[in-house]
Structure 1
C-alpha cells in the first residue's frame, strides 16, 4: 500500500453561449480555454498506465463542445470532435456528475434538482459512453437534503469541501479519510476536498513541494490516507499557459507522476476504487455551504446570493419555476402538441436561468438571467 493515495480532479464549465461569444469577440481567450480542455489528453495518454484522473464537465460545456457550429469555428485551434473522442477512449479517467446547467443546488428550487441531475447524466453517457459514478456539486454547493436525489440518480459518492464536515459530536474530522452521510434513509460516501492543497493546485505548485507537504500534513493519520485535490481546469494562467514548462500539466503533473517511480510513496487513485477497497466507516454531518471562490469563504452563498440584486434575481427564479410547475400540472393530460412544445421550451429556459454564473458575476451578468426569465414568460402557454 502506498503511503498516500491522491485523487486528482478538475472541474470544467462554460455557461451556454459563452464559447460562441468568445470565438467571435475574443478569439485569443477562446484559444487558451479550448487548449486547456485538450491539453490533458496528451499527458494522460502519455501516463495511461501510471496515472489516474477525475473530470467533471458541465452539461452546458459539453453541449457547446459537441455543437457542429462551435466545432467549425474552433477549427485551427482544436478539433473538438477528435478531442471528445479522445476523452471517450481514455482508460485512466473517472467522470463525475454535476448539474446540466451548473446550478448551485441548495439555492435553487428543489423541484428542479432531479431534472438538472438526470439531464447531466444523460449527456455524459451520450458523449463519453461512460456512466459517472461520483458527483461534484457545481460551486461545491452542497446540503444534506441532496443525498436522496444523488443516490436515486445512481451516484455512490459526493465530493464536498472539507471545512463543512463534522462528526456526530459536531467536531471537525480529518480531510484525509472518506466518510458516509445519510438523509431520509439514503446513504452516500462523502469525499473531503482538501482545501489548502486544492488552493495550491489552482494557483501553481511544485511537485517536490507538494509531495513533502502532503506527507507532512498526513504524518499522524492512520492509513489508508486519501488526499483529494479539485479545482477549475481552465481558469487562471496556471491552467491556460500555453507553455508546458509553466503550466499544471507540464510543470507539475508530468514530473509528479514520474517521481512516483522513484519511491515517493504517493499513488494516484480513482475515488470509486478507493471507496470500494476501503469503505467509509464513520458517519458525518455536512453543513450547507460551497467552496472558497472569489473573495468568499464558502461558509455561505454570499458569492451568489449576497447582494440585494442577487437575492431579487433568485426570487424571480423561484417565481418562474413555480409558474412552470403550475402550468405543467394544469396541462398534464392535454394532447395539445403546441402546448407541450412551448412548455418544454419554458422548462429549458427555467433550468438555464439557474446557471450559477449569472448570479456569481452579479450586476454584470444578471441582465442575461432576466432575459432568460422574460423569454420564458413570453413563451409560457
Structure 2
C-alpha cells in the first residue's frame, strides 16, 4: 500500500526595520503579524501526535523580534520570547536556515553569499539552539555555486522549486529522485560537492475551490498523482507557506470566504488526527539518509540567471528586463558591495596601521557597513511589482556609505 507523507514548512520574513517602524505607526498591524507567527505553534500544541512542522525565520526578522522595543510594545498581548522558545523547545519543529536578509541569491554579488548564509545560520542557532540542516533560498533564487558554501556551513539539503534546477545533460530533474520511495527528494552535484535536495510540490495550491482537505493527495500534479494512483512509490507532499500570505487571507485555490487557519488547516488536522489513511507528518531531517542514497544530478551554470556586471559596470542579465528604478537600485547594491570589499581588502593589507587608530574601532565600523550591505539585498526590494519597494534600498545604502567614508577618513 502506498504511504503518503506530508512535510509542511512556514516562512517568516519581513524587510529590515519593518516591525520597529510599526511600533510607532501601525501597532494593530504589528500585533497581527506577530500573532500570525505564533499560529503554527498553537496548532502544534493542540495536535502534537499528528503534526510536525518546519519553520524558517530570516535573520533580519529575528533581530527585530529580539529588540527590546518590539518585545515591550507587544508584551501585554503577545509574549515574543515565549513564542520563540516554544519553537526552540518543540521536538516536532525543524528549524530551516535562510539567508540573513532572505536575498535573491542570483541577483546579488556572489562575494556576499558567504556572509548571507553564515549570518543567517548563526542567528538561527543562537535563537533556537539548533544548527539548521536544511536551507531555503528565496523564491527560485538558487544557484549551483551556492552548494559548496552551504556545505561549508553544515547544510545537508536545500529546499527548491523544481524549475530552479537546471541539469547539465538532458535528463529530467526526476532522474535524481529514486523510484523506490519518494519522488520529491534527491541529490544535487556541483564541482564534486554534493547536497541533498527537496522539491516543493505545494499540494495546498492544487486544491480546487470547495475541495475537502481529504482531497490533498489526489490534487497533486499528474507526475506525483499518477505515481500515487499506480501505487508505484510512497508519496511525499512538500508544502511551503509564507506566513504573511495567510494573514486573514486564503491560499489561492480556496473559496473566497475561506480563511486558511480555521477554514482549512484546522479541518485538515482533525482529519489527520482521526484517519488512519491521512498523510503522515514528517520532518525532512528524517529523510537525509535517503537523499544521500540517490544518484546526484549534475548541475550546469550556463542556464542559471546570475546577476553580474559588464565591463562598463552596468547591470547585465536580470537588469535588462527590470523596471528602471529596480535596475538602478540593484546597480547601487553592487557598487556598495564593491566599495565595501575594496576597503576591507585594503584594511587587511594595512592591519598594523589600522590598529594604531585606537579611538575608532575600524573593524566594528566595517561590520556595521556589512550589516547595511546585507540588508540592502533583501528580496522584496527587487521582487515586488510596486517600484516604491526599490526606493527602500537606499535606506540601507546611505548609512553604509557614511560609515565607509568615516573608515576611509581614519585610514587614508
Q: TM tier, shorter chain? A: 0.7 to 0.9
Map Cα deviations across residues 233-257 of structure 1 (whole Å, 9 max, x no partner).
Answer: 122445699xxx9543333333323
TM-score, normalised on structure 1?
0.87
Partner residue of 1:248?
A: 260
Instruction: Tell me the secondary structure at the aligned position of residue 49 of structure 1.
Output: coil
Any idea what the Cα deviations from partners look like across 1:267-306, whole Å, max 9, x if unmatched? 111111023256451432566379xxxxxxxxxx969972
Offset at 1:262? Answer: 1.8
How do 1:129-168 residues align onto structure 2 when only pairs under 5 Å count? Answer: 129-165=129-165, 168=169
In 2, the alpha carbon distance for the partners of 1:133 and 1:317 equals 29
Q: Contact 2:187–2:197 at 8 Å: present in 1 too?
A: yes
Match of 1:267 among 258, 264, 280: 280
Deviations 1:63-95 (A, max 9, x none): 111111101111333111111111111110111
Q: Matches of 1:134 and 1:289 in 2, distance apart?
A: 23
Aligned to 1:28: 28
* CA spacing shift, 1:239–1:131, aligned 2, 3 Å: farther
Q: 1:198 to 1:315 in 2, by over 3 A?
A: farther
Measured against aligned partners, the alpha-carbon deviations of 1:37-56 in whole angstroms (never above 9, x if no partner) come to 11211110122232111111
Q: CA deviation at 1:25?
A: 2.0
Query: CA distance change for structure 1 residues 69 and 184 in 2, over 3 Å: closer, same or farther?
Result: same
C-alpha distance in 2, partners of 1:176/1:143?
22
User: Are the counterparts in 2 of residues 165 and 285 from structure 1 also a CA contact under 8 Å?
Assistant: no
- Residues 89-108 of structure 1: matches in 2 within 5 Å? 89-108=89-108
- Report the TM-score when normalising by structure 2: 0.80
Deviations 1:16-54 (A, max 9, x none): 211122232223322221111112111101222321111
Runs of 4+ deviating beyond 6 Å: 301-305
For residue 158 of structure 1, report the CA deviation from its aligned partner. 0.4
Cα gap change, 1:75/1:246 in structure 2, threshold over 3 Å: closer, same or farther?
Answer: farther
* Structure possessing the higher radius of gyration over alpha carbons: 2
Contiguous gaps of at least 5 residues in structure 2: 252-256, 307-316, 408-412
| 2:179 is the counterpart of 1:169 | no
* Residue among 399, 405, 408 paired with 1:375: 399
| Alpha-carbon distance in 2 for matches of 1:304, 1:356 | 18
Find the counterpart in structure 2 of residue 294 from structure 1.
none
Residue range with higher mean Cα deviation, 368-377 or 99-108: 368-377
Among candidates 324, 334, 337, match of residue 308 of structure 1:
324
The answer as to 2:246 corresponding to 1:233 is no
CA distance in 1, matches of 2:59, 2:29: 21
Q: Deviations over 1:199-243 (max 9, x none)?
A: 358x997412324324845324632321211120122445699xx
Query: What count of residue pairs does the alignment treat as equivalent?
Result: 367
Note the C-alpha offset of 1:198.
Answer: 5.0
Alignment match of 1:326 (pick from 342, 348, 371): 342
**Residue-by-residue CA offset, 1:156-190 (whole Å, 9 max, x unaligned):** 01011023346642335389331111112110011
1:365 alignment partner, one of 381, 386, 389: 389
Contact 1:2–1:265 (CA<8 Å) still a contact in 2?
A: no
Aligned-partner Cα distance in 2 for 1:237–1:136: 21
Tell me the SS of whatever aligns to 1:234.
helix
**Which range is displaced more, 273-282 or 70-79?**
273-282
Provide closer, same or farther for how the CA distance between residues 305 and 323 of structure 1 changes in structure 2, counting only shifts above 3 A.
Answer: farther
Q: For 1:304 and 1:64, how far apart are their aligned partners in 2?
A: 34
Match of 2:269 in 1: 257
C-alpha contact 2:2 2:231 (8 A) present in aligned 1: no
3-state SS in 1 of match to 2:7: strand
Q: CA-to-partner distance for each residue in 1:297-326, whole Å, 9 max, x for gaps?
A: xxxx96997222222221211111111111
Unaligned 5+ segments in structure 1 are: 291-300
Q: RMSD across aligned C-alpha pairs, in angstroms? A: 3.0
d(CA) in 2 for partners of 1:183, 1:278: 16
**CA contact under 8 A between 2:188 and 2:298: conserved in structure 1?**
yes
- Asked if the contact 2:5–2:282 (Cα under 8 Å) also holds between the matched residues in 1, the reply is yes
Alpha-carbon distance in 2 for matches of 1:15, 1:156: 27
Cα distance in 1, alignment partners of residues 166 and 346 from structure 2: 44
